[in-house]
Amino acid sequence: MSGYRDRLRSIYRDYIGEPDKERDIYIGFGLFFAGVTLAVVGFGLFLYSNVLESGSTLYWQIREIALVVGFIGLPSVLLSVVVLLPVGFKTRVVSAAGTVFCLAATVILVDVFPYGWTTSEGINGSVWTISVYATGLVTLVASTGAALVAHYLERATAPAESAEPVDSAESESESVSKADVDSDIEQAMEGAELSWGGVEQQPKTKRLNLDMPDTDSDLDQTAIENSEATTTRADSNDVDDAVDGLRQLQGGQSNTDRSTGTEEQVNALTEFRNEQAEDDDVETGVEEQKGLMSRLRSLFFE
C-alpha cells in the first residue's frame, strides 16, 4: 500500500508540485479513477441494454443504472481536477455547487425514469433532468478551467521569478572572476616587453663597431693607394662578341666567324639557340616522341 502512495506522491510532484495537504492527493486521485471507472461501466451497461428485449422490465432497469452511473462518473472526473490543483476557496465552492446540481439531476432521473421521462401533461421529467444536470456540468467545467489556467500561470511565472536571483549571483561571480583574470594578466605582463604582434621592443642584437685610428701599423694604406686593378675590355661590342663570350662561359670554342651583316647576326643567334636546345635535350635525356595521332596519320595518309 505504501508503494502506491509513494507513486502517487511522485506523480503529483512531477506534474503539479508540492502538495498543500497530503489528503488532497488521495482524494483527488480517488475521485479521478472512480469517475473514469463509473463512466466506463455506465457505457458498457448502456450497450448491454440494447441486447435485451426492448420494453421489458430488465431492459429499463439496466438502462436506468447505466444512466445513473454515467451521471455520477463525469462530475467525479471534473471535480478531481479541482481537488488536485492548488486552487482558491472560491473555486472549490463553485465546483462543489456544480457537483450538487449534478447529484440533484441524478435524483430527478431516478424518480422520473422510465415512466415519467416523457409525459404529455406539463413539463416532463427529461426536461428537468437535463436542465439541472447541464447547469451543474457547466459550473464544474468553468471551475475546472479556471483551476487549470491559474495553475498554468503560476508555473509559468514561478521559474522567471526564481531565475532572477540566480542570474544576479552568476553576474557577480562572473565580475569577480573577470577582475581576478585581469589582475593575473597584468602581473604576468609586467616583466615582458612586447609590442603589437608579439615582437620585442628592444631586440637583443650585437653590432660590430670598428675604430679606425689615424695611425695603424697593421694597415698599409700606401699599398692600397698604389694597387692597380687589372681590367679587360672588349674591343668590339657587336653581337658576335656577345655570342663568343657566351660560348666561352659554357666551355665551347672561342673561335667564331665574324659576321658583317644583320641577317648573318640573326642567323648566328638562331643557330646558337638551337644548339642550346639540343644540349638541354642531351643533358636531360628526354627525346621528342611523336604522338598517337601523328603516328596514325603517317600510317594511313602518308
Amino acid code (one letter) for 189: M
Q: Could you identify the residue written with the cell 421489458?
A: 56
- C-beta separation of 75 from 99 below 8 A: yes
User: Which CA distances in Å does 197 have to 69, 190, 193, 194?
Assistant: 86, 17, 12, 8
DSSP state, residue 200: B
Q: Which residues have a Cβ under 8 Å from the Cβ of 94 and sit 6 or more positions away?
A: 139, 142, 143, 146
Could you state, in order of their start, the residue ranges of all structural domains in the chain? 2-162, 238-287
Q: Could you identify the residue written with the cell 596514325?
A: 296
pTM: 0.50
Kindly give the confidence (pLDDT) of every residue in the chain, 302 residues in length, as a single tens digit, with 9 standing for 90 and above. 566 677 777 777 776 767 677 777 888 888 999 999 999 999 999 999 888 888 888 999 999 999 999 999 999 999 998 888 888 888 889 999 999 999 999 999 998 888 888 775 666 788 899 999 999 999 999 988 888 887 777 777 765 554 455 555 455 555 556 667 677 677 666 655 555 554 555 555 555 555 555 555 554 555 445 555 555 554 545 666 766 777 766 665 545 455 555 667 667 777 877 777 766 554 444 444 455 556 655 554 45
